[in-house]
Every structure is written in C-alpha cells, then in structure tokens.
C-alpha cells in the first residue's frame, strides 16, 4: 500500500525530525548521452516525488562530464520527459559543467592538503597497481610528489600542456582498502575533446566520483538518491565531502534498486545501438522503453506514474514483468477513452433484406463508465466485418458468425449467414446475410439468442486508416543480443477500415477499438490523407497464455494485475451466473464489472450473499468483496476473517466512523491478524475526524506554512487545491473526513 512509507521517505523524515536541513533538496542527475527510459522515470518519480511530498525541491541536473557522448538533443529529451510526467524543477536546468571552475578549486584545495596527487602511470599500470579483491594494491611512486610539484602539474594539465592519458589526478586514500573503489580513485583525467557547452575551455574533466558529490554540495542537495551500483562509491562520496571540511550541512547518498523490465533492454548504450543500427525508427519508436517511445505509442503519464508507484522502492534489484506496465495503461484508459469500431482485416457482408441507410446513435462508453458522449454510426446493406469473425467450420466453442449461428453487430442488428461466395481458389470473398429488423440493439424484440457481438463498419462510409500493431521488442525475457529481437514486433496494416466518426470528430486522440485494444493517433505521422493509429496495448494480456506453454516466467511479479473484464469477449456465463449477474446489475445497481467478478466466482458470490443477509449496503459490500476480499482469496487461498467482520467494517464506513482510506488499512490488518475491525480502529485511534474544530487549526497551520501556494491558488492555479487537501489528510494520517476537509479548505482559501 502506498501509505506505507518506503525506506527513503523514512530516512528523509528522520532527517526532518533531526532538523539537519532547512529544506529537503533532491536532484535528478542524468547524463545527457541518450533518451531517458522507464528506469529513469522511476528515478524521476522518486526524486521529484520526495521533494514534493516534503515541500522541498528537486533540481534537474545534466551530469555532463563526458564530452564525447553528450548532446543537446538528449538534454531536450530529458527536459521533455520530466515535464511530460508532470514534474517541475525550480529555476534553470543545472549542469555539472557550470561547476567546472568550482570543482577545479576543490581539486587544488585537496592537493594543497596533501590529499591528492598527479599520477603518471598509464591506464594499464593503474589497473595493475590497483590489486584485486583478495590482494591489496600498491601505490604509484608518483604519489610521493611534493605539493608544489602536484600543483604545478595540475595547472599544466588544465592548460593543455599534456596529451590525453599522460597524467591523472588521484585522491590519496588507501591502496589497501577492502573497498577497491577507495584505492586512490581518479579525480581528473585529460581529454582534449569539444564539450557541447563549455566548448574548448577545458581539456581536463572531473570523474563522476569527484564531480557528483561536489555538485550535490554546491546545489545544497540534502538527499542524493542513486541506484545500487553506486553503493561502493558512497565511501568516496563521504570521504571527499568530509576531507574537504565544508560548511555543513552536506548531502548524503542513499541507494535504491534499479528498475529492470523483461522483454526489453534498458541501458542507453544498448538502446543507442538499436537506434544507430536502424533496428527501430528512432529513440521515440513506440517499441522502445524510452519515455519518448511510450509517449508516442500513446501511454499516458498517469499510467507510468501509477506503475512507478506500484512497483515501489526496494533495496534489492529485481525484474518487473512488463505485463504490469501494460496493466497500468489498460487500467487508466479503460474508463477514459471512447470505444469505437475498426475492422483490421475486412471481409464484405451484404445484407440482402436491408434497404436504405440509417444512422445509429451509439454511446462511446459502456453504461458503467461515468462519462457521456455518443456518435452516429452509418449502417447500410453493405458492411465489413473482421475476417476471423466468420467461420465455415468452426470449433465447438466458437461464438461468432457461422453458417448456422447468428451474431449481433455491435450497436446494431442480429444477422444470420445465408451464403458464402468464394473465389476460384476457394477463399471466401463475400458473405451474404440477412438481418432481423426487430433485433436492433437496445430495442430487441426478436427473441434470437446470440453468443457474441462483433465490430463492423459501413462499406460506403467507412474510412481507410493505417494501423501499426506493436508487440514486444524482444522475443526473450532477458535478451542478450540483437539476435533476440522479436521479428514480429511491428506489423503495419495499411487498409484497416474505421467508422467515420473517429476521423471526423477525433473526439480524443486515444480510442478503444472494440475487441482489438487501445489505439493512439500517431502524433507525428497522422494526417488527414493518411490517418495512422498506433496500438498502445491489447485488451488483455495475450502473452500470459503463450508464456505458460513456452516457458515458465522466472520473473518476480510483485503486484498481481487485477482481473480484467473484457467487454464483448468474455466467456459465456452459466445460467446460474447469469441470474446472479442480472440481479446484481438490475436490482442491486452494481456496476457491470463488479457484478461480473462476483457472479462468476461461487466463493465470492456466496460470501457476498451472507454479507448482504446481515447488512443492506449492497454497493459498498460488493466493492470490498470484489476487490479486497477477492485479492486476499487469490493471494492466500483462504480468508482470515468472516463475512460478519466485513459487515462490521462496512458499517463503520457507511456511518462515517472511518474514512475509506483508513478502511483499507483496517482491512489489511484484519486480513493479517483476524482481529475485529472495531477493535483495530479503537486500539489504533483511527476514528475519522469530522469535527471542524479539530480540522480548522490544522488547515490554518498549513495555509500559514505555504504562503506561496496560497498566493498561486488564489491567482488561479486550481491544481493546488489538491495539494492542500493532501496536506491535511497527511497531517491527520488519513483520518480527516475528506468531505469536511474539502468544505473547510474551500472556505479558508477563499478568505
């Protein structure tokens, strides 16, 4: 649960308590040598997220100490990514190169202290002298140079009097240190290279270990958060900042686990190889794990933020299943985007008994989505359906159109097949069909039973579109080389047909193509002459089935994606299930998704029924049973609590004794310990606070502490409303009654 603080926030809160820092300052420090990927998104969420949570700030700093690989186009991509994810850095973008003069001064200071020296061993000798994990290294004879000699050499290095590799500056630490990084680490090297910002001003460049801690210090960073591979560098970080005897406070480094995702590569070097070798169309190819790639493919920032939140922050590296990311985008789009019809592989159907034309008004959203909007779908005697939605010799479980079996055209009529027309090779080229005029969707009096509804488009009015279907970039879970690339990762369909509303209205840029998946109008290639849609993700995890037969996934999946209900594609229900479903939706007013989950699972439906016997609160009960109880049952295979305990919990929610946020916490504890909810609430003091007398002073304090935000809000930045609500909830550990908080904050901010 996200209320549980991660270890980084625990550290930050301890430092706040100790009063070490005036402000919490973090930074996101990418090297501008490639486009940021989803791993960077995690780092962005952590750094900007922590700064935001503790009312501090986060700097965006280009770690540009390696002139040969860096470029402004990467700087722009990094800025875009941070902005797109919804974060803001304060002031200008920072550059390590801006600190080159300062960093050089610190180097001189170290030399003067006798703590750094110019070494003239060559690269190989340096390596050899370093020793191994089991044997200590030995110090270079140049370490005996006097301070004057060192100062002179360093100055000459800086002035360009030596060739690359002739000398380096090293810290004088300990050639026998167990941590090999501490064996006199390099601080500066000579590089006669053109830098994209400092041009030819410098020919010596500071090493990461030297530049990073100092840049952090210079910027007043409090928490320098990086990935685990820098764990051993932390000793250098500490040594340098301590030895330099700087005015406190100084930053400290904390490491978290890198994000890895299966079926892709993440290192910028490997991604660059794909770009340069034209294996993909560019850094923003929709198959790339880059932010630019996800953006172009149609992912929303919300889905990426949710993903980063779900995977959490850990201390041990692990691989996350890409299906979890796919789950997040589906989950986000499911309720947001209009559903329309597109036929990817069309076959013509002539409806012989239909005459004239009509336009069918159809909602863009299913009834359980709280959004409105509709369009007119043209219908006539010539339509196209998906080739695979008709079969001459179907297997038993085939639910769509066959010679004997009728099917519903989504939003329209039921048709039956009369005849199939084949070409000389025996391929079906056309289907002749009949429609039932009493079967119109929503007014069906025909009494005909069908097993499914399929998408279609009107032959006369449909528009041609190009559809790009993307699959995973690699065919292996842990790709090792280019040979592991998935040859079918991109399939282009030039002649798909889409209902005209999508083109005319373009009500949104993202759509669900019914029964196909989620699609996005390609932001670059889409034009009126050639409308192009990218497939964002399918409606369900098509790989889940495949990987079962191929190989067992070795991947650790931390959060189980929720079971998804796919409109129009679900397995038929048994009669019993259908009866339950109908009762739940019609009588108890449950939404279709929840009703579906309950009706299909006997354990859940009987649990739900016994709850209902005790308490008439069908909707709250259903939500808890279909979500939390179902998850518990799935994870543990058993329940630690009874239906009466759930009833007790729901009563407290309904009576507003506890907030629904707190209810989650109570549920978790009940599921763990089996204790009664009222006991848990009592012993943890979780009772909801609704008394304005208690809440008002809290709001006053927050308003007093955040004058800037108050001013901005009053100047029209409505988004900040959420900030104030969040702060109050946080201050009351989620116990404040959100309704009351809302009213009071509104009132106070107006004043």
Q: How far is the CB of 726 from ligand ATP (least distance, A)?
A: 25
Q: Tell whether the torsion through CA atoms of 293, 296, 302 and 307 is positive or negative.
A: negative
Beta-carbon count within 10 A of 417 CB: 19
Q: How far is the CB of 228 from ligand ATP (least distance, A)?
A: 9
Q: Which does 26 bind (CB under 5 to 8 A by kind): Mg ion, ligand ATP, none?
A: none
Residues 6+ apart with CB under 8 A from 298: 286, 509, 510, 518, 519, 520, 534, 536
Report phi then psi at 6, rounded to 5. Answer: -80, 170
Q: Which does 43 bind (CB under 5 to 8 A by kind): Mg ion, ligand ATP, none?
A: ligand ATP
Q: Tell me the site size for Mg ion, rule CB under 5 A.
A: 1
Q: Which does 29 bind (CB under 5 to 8 A by kind): ligand ATP, Mg ion, none?
A: ligand ATP
Nearer to Mg ion, 31 or 484 (CB): 31
Q: Which does 226 bind (CB under 5 to 8 A by kind): ligand ATP, Mg ion, none?
A: ligand ATP
Residues 6+ apart with CB under 8 A from 640: 632, 670, 671, 672, 673, 674
Residues recognised as catalytic: 31, 258, 268
Nearer to ligand ATP, 42 or 189 (CB): 42
* Interactions with Mg ion, residue window 22-41 (CB under 5 A): 31
Q: Which does 267 bind (CB under 5 to 8 A by kind): Mg ion, ligand ATP, none?
A: ligand ATP
Q: How far is the CB of 30 from Mg ion (least distance, A)?
A: 8
Q: How far is the CB of 354 from ligand ATP (least distance, A)?
A: 57
Q: Which does 39 bind (CB under 5 to 8 A by kind): Mg ion, ligand ATP, none?
A: ligand ATP
Q: Which does 250 bind (CB under 5 to 8 A by kind): Mg ion, ligand ATP, none?
A: none
Q: How far is the CB of 266 from ligand ATP (least distance, A)?
A: 5
Cβ–Cβ < 8 Å for 604, 629: yes
Q: Output the CA angle 111-117-119, nearest 5 degrees.
A: 155
Nearer to ligand ATP, 32 or 338 (CB): 32
Beta-carbon count within 10 A of 56 CB: 20
Q: What does the DSSP assignment read for 535-582?
A: EEE-SS-HHHHHHHHH--------SPPPP---TTTSPPPPHHHHHHHH
Q: Which does 227 bind (CB under 5 to 8 A by kind): Mg ion, ligand ATP, none?
A: ligand ATP
What is the Cα–Cα distance from 86 to 64, expressed in whole angstroms? 24
Per-residue DSSP letter, 315 = S
Q: How far is the CB of 206 from ligand ATP (least distance, A)?
A: 15
Sort strands 57-62 and 94-95 into parallel, antiparallel or unpaired: parallel
Q: How far is the CB of 283 from ligand ATP (least distance, A)?
A: 13
Closest-approach residue to Mg ion (CB): 31
Per DSSP, the chain holds a count of helices (H) and strands (E) of 26, 29
Q: How far is the CB of 182 from ligand ATP (least distance, A)?
A: 21
* Interactions with Mg ion, residue window 70-129 (CB under 5 A): none
Report phi then psi at 352, rounded to 5. Answer: -70, -30
Closest-approach residue to ligand ATP (CB): 39
Q: Which residues bind ligand ATP (CB under 6 A)?
A: 29-31, 39-40, 42-43, 226-227, 258-259, 266-268
Cβ–Cβ < 8 Å for 468, 535: yes
* Interactions with Mg ion, residue window 584-613 (CB under 5 A): none
Nearer to ligand ATP, 266 or 428 (CB): 266
Q: Which does 510 bind (CB under 5 to 8 A by kind): ligand ATP, Mg ion, none?
A: none
Nearer to Mg ion, 31 or 696 (CB): 31
Nearer to ligand ATP, 211 or 604 (CB): 211
Nearer to ligand ATP, 93 or 503 (CB): 93
The CA-atom distances, in angstroms, between 625 and each of 310, 340, 431, 620, 621 are 21, 32, 46, 9, 6
Nearer to ligand ATP, 258 or 376 (CB): 258
Q: How far is the CB of 270 from Mg ion (least distance, A)?
A: 13
Q: How far is the CB of 42 from ligand ATP (least distance, A)?
A: 4
Q: Which does 538 bind (CB under 5 to 8 A by kind): ligand ATP, Mg ion, none?
A: none
Longest C-alpha distance within the chain, in Å? Answer: 102
Nearer to ligand ATP, 181 or 268 (CB): 268
Per-residue DSSP letter, 207 = -
Q: How far is the CB of 307 from ligand ATP (least distance, A)?
A: 12
Q: Which does 258 bind (CB under 5 to 8 A by kind): Mg ion, ligand ATP, none?
A: ligand ATP
Q: What residues form DSSP beta bridges with 171?
A: 116
Of 36, 44, 48, 60, whose CA–CA distance to 219 is shortest? 60
Helix (H, G, I), strand (E, B) or coil at 190: strand
Helices (H), ranges, 234-355:
234-243, 268-276, 291-297, 301-311, 322-334
Q: How far is the CB of 331 from ligand ATP (least distance, A)?
A: 22
Cβ–Cβ < 8 Å for 741, 712: no
Q: Peptide bond preceding 679: is omega within 30 degrees of 0, i.e. cis? A: no
Nearer to Mg ion, 82 or 630 (CB): 82
Nearer to ligand ATP, 265 or 625 (CB): 265
Nearer to ligand ATP, 290 or 732 (CB): 290
Q: Which does 121 bind (CB under 5 to 8 A by kind): Mg ion, ligand ATP, none?
A: none
Q: Tell whether the torsion through CA atoms of 224, 229, 231 and 232 is positive or negative.
A: negative
> Edge-to-edge, what's the strand order for the sheet holding 116-119?
116-119, 168-171, 186-190, 204-206
| 158-179 b/e (C-beta count within 10 Å ≥ 16 → b) | beeebeeeebbbbbbbbbebee
Token reading at 204? 């010596």
The CA-atom distances, in angstroms, between 495 and each of 281, 348, 376, 377 are 21, 14, 22, 20
The CA-atom distances, in angstroms, between 165 and each of 12, 158, 182, 624 are 41, 13, 21, 66
Residues of this chain that interact with Mg ion (CB under 5 A) are 31
């Amino acid at each position: 649960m996200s209320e549980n603080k991660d270890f980084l926030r625990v550290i930050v809160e301890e430092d706040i308590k100790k009063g070490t820092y005036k402000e919490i300052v973090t930074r996101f420090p990418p090297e501008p040598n490639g486009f940021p990927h989803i791993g960077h998104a995690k780092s962005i969420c952590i750094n900007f997220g922590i700064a935001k949570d503790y009312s501090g700030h986060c700097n965006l700093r280009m770690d540009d100490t390696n002139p040969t690989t860096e470029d402004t186009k990467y700087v722009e991509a990094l800025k875009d990514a941070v902005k797109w994810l919804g974060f803001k850095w304060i002031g200008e973008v920072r550059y390590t190169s801006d600190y080159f003069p300062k960093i050089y001064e610190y180097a001189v200071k170290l030399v003067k202290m006798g703590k750094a020296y110019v070494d003239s061993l060559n690269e190989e000798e340096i390596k050899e002298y370093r020793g191994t994990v089991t044997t200590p290294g030995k110090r270079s004879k140049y370490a005996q140079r006097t301070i004057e000699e060192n100062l002179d050499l360093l100055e000459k290095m800086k002035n360009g009097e030596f060739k690359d590799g002739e000398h380096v500056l090293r810290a004088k630490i300990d050639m026998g240190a167990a941590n090999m990084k501490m064996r006199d680490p390099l601080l500066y090297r000579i590089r006669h290279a053109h830098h994209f910002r400092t041009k030819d001003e410098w020919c010596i460049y500071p090493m990461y270990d030297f530049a990073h801690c100092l840049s952090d210090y210079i910027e007043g960073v409090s928490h320098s958060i990086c990935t685990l591979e820098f764990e051993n560098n932390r000793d250098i970080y500490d040594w340098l900042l301590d030895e330099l005897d700087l005015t406190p406070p100084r930053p400290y480094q904390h490491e978290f686990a890198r994000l890895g995702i299966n079926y892709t590569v993440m290192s910028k070097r490997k991604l660059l190889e794909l770009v340069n070798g034209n294996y993909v169309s560019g850094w923003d190819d929709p198959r790339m794990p880059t932010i630019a790639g996800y953006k172009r493919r149609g992912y929303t920032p919300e889905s990426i933020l949710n993903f980063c939140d779900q995977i959490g922050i850990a201390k041990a590296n692990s691989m996350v299943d890409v299906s979890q990311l796919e789950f997040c985008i589906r989950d986000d789009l499911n309720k947001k985007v209009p559903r329309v019809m597109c036929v990817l592989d069309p076959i013509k159907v002539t409806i012989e008994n239909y005459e004239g034309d009509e336009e069918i008004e159809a909602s863009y959203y299913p009834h359980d989505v709280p959004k409105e909007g509709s369009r007119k779908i043209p219908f006539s005697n010539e339509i196209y359906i998906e080739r695979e939605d008709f079969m001459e010799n179907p297997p038993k479980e085939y639910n769509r159109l066959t010679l004997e079996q009728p099917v519903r055209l989504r939003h329209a009529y039921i048709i039956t097949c009369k005849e199939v027309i084949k070409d000389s090779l025996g391929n079906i080229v056309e289907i002749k069909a009949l429609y039932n005029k009493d079967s119109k969707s929503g007014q069906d009096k025909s009494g005909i039973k069908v097993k499914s509804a399929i998408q279609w488009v009107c032959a006369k009015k449909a528009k041609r579109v190009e559809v790009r279907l993307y699959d995973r970039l690699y065919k292996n879970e842990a790709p090792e080389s280019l040979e592991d690339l998935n040859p079918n990762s991109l399939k282009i369909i030039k002649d798909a047909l889409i209902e005209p509303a999508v083109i005319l209205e373009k009500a949104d840029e993202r759509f669900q193509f019914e029964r196909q998946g989620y699609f996005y109008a390609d932001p670059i290639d889409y034009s009126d002459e050639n409308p192009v849609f990218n497939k964002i993700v399918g409606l369900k995890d098509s790989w889940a089935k495949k990987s079962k037969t191929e190989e067992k996934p070795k991947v650790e999946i931390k959060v189980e994606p929720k079971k998804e209900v796919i409109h129009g594609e679900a397995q038929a229900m048994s009669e019993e299930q259908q009866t339950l479903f109908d009762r739940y939706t019609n009588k108890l007013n449950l939404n279709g998704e929840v009703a579906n989950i309950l009706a299909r699972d006997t354990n859940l439906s009987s649990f739900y029924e016994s709850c209902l016997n005790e308490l008439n609160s069908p909707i709250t009960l259903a939500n808890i049973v279909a979500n939390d109880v179902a998850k518990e049952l799935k994870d543990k295979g058993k329940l630690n609590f009874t239906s009466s305990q759930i009833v007790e919990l729901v009563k407290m929610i309904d009576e507003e004794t506890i907030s629904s946020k707190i209810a989650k916490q109570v549920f978790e504890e009940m599921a763990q310990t089996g204790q009664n909810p009222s006991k848990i609430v009592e012993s943890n003091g979780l009772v909801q606070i609704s008394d304005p007398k208690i809440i008002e002073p809290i709001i006053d304090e927050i308003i007093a502490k955040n004058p800037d935000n108050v001013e901005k809000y009053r100047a029209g930045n409505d988004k900040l409303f959420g900030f104030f609500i969040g702060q109050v909830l946080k201050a009351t550990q989620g116990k404040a009654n959100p309704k009351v908080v809302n009213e009071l904050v509104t009132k106070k901010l107006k004043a």
